[in-house]
Amino acid sequence: MWIDSENDMLTEKYSEEILKILAKYPADQKRSAVMALLFLAQRETGYVTRPVMGEIAEITGTLITDVASIVGFYSLFYDEPGGKYRIQVCTDVSCAMRGAEAFVEELCENLGIGVGETTEDGLVTVEKVMCLAGCDKAPLFQVQTGEGLEYHENQTVEKTLDLIHRWRRNR
């Protein structure tokens, strides 16, 4: 899909950044660094491999199952490749009442994918998430990239497709 560097281990690539992250926490509280290390790990590839989860567990003195459970719980962490841009549409009850369900279905139809799938060019993955804290501005979504998050409120399918076309032109 996007970038596949599964064999690049975290400590080999980011030893200085890891030390900076760990320095923010007391020595006996290294487990508090798990989320920061997960963000670091998926910054380039957009997801965290099982071996890297194991490495994070080792660095923080936790179990790999603890690290994997954090990846599985939070909508900003991934254990599988996806698009360079992950469009996460809030479909909570309030947003659904403002058209979010219809928005995500029509967007996916226009992109030729289903919810949770990635476009053929590997650029976009569309997902449903719960509560982005903007119910009055629905349909809304957040876009996750290796650079961070962007929020897009009061969206239409047309505006979203224009955004995706800009991403394609700027590749």
- CB contact at 8 A, 138 and 98: yes
% of the chain surpassing 70 pLDDT: 95
Which residues have a Cβ under 8 Å from the Cβ of 52 and sit 6 or more positions away? 9, 10, 41
- Residue type, position 13, single letter: K
Q: What is the mean pLDDT of residues 52-63?
A: 96
Helix ranges, the chain (H)? 10-23, 34-42, 50-60, 64-73, 93-97, 100-111, 157-169
* pLDDT for 8: 53
Q: How far apart are CA 126 and CA 85, in angstroms?
A: 9
Average confidence score pLDDT of the chain: 91
Task: Tell me which residue has tokens 């226009």.
Answer: 110
* pLDDT for 134: 92
Task: State yes or no: pLDDT of 58 exceeds 50.
Answer: yes
- Predicted confidence (pLDDT) per residue in 115-168, tens digit: 999 999 999 999 999 999 999 999 999 998 877 889 999 999 999 999 999 999
- CB contact at 8 A, 85 and 167: yes
CB atoms within 10 A of CB 110: 13
Task: State yes or no: pLDDT of 2 exceeds 50.
Answer: no
The token pair at 101 is 């369900």
- List of domains in the chain: 10-73 (1.10.10.1590), 85-169 (3.40.30.10)
* pLDDT for 144: 86
Render the burial of 24-60: b for 16+ CB within 10 Å, e for the rest.
eeeeeebeebbbbbbebbbeebbbbbeebbbbbbebb
